Amino acid sequence: MSAHNDKLIIAGREFNSRLMVGTGKYADFRQMVQAIEISGAEIITVAVRRVNITDRSKESLLDHIDLKKYTLLPNTAGCYTADDAVRTCRLARELLDGHKLVKLEVLGDERTLYPDVVQTIAAAEILIREGFDVMVY
């Protein structure tokens, strides 16, 4: 199989692109959508704690992303404990209609953003038991 035909398979889903792009740090939603489209990525990471996905009366990035075209990868950026990370993943699953695929990161150091390995493993064990498909950062 050539590299051009080699699919990326995550949690039983096939992707043509291995590139994953985030939704943060853009000037506005228009710029975010343009960057995502130009990138060719099919997976978009979303920091659940840093974006509005709960208050549907306010503009949300979910208003701008075609969920039939892209797979969202909610992540636990900004979480410092296993409990916070697990709670964040449960919230994402609830808000995204049972979405199971998550990117797990539990920080141990605010300055370097190095992970807290013990807390990350603890969170991963819980999430896997609860049926999540966990990608650890």
According to DSSP, residue 67 is labeled: T
Query: Which candidate in 58, 68, 69, 103 is catalytic?
Result: 103
Integer Cα distance of 120 and 137 in angstroms? 9
Alpha helices in the chain (DSSP H): 29-39, 82-95, 117-129
Integer Cα distance of 87 and 108 in angstroms? 17
Query: Quick one: which of 44, 97, 54 has its CA closest to 74?
Result: 44
Query: Quick one: which of 60, 58, 123 has its CA closest to 88?
Result: 123
Is 100 annotated as catalytic?
no
Q: Which residues are catalytic?
A: 103
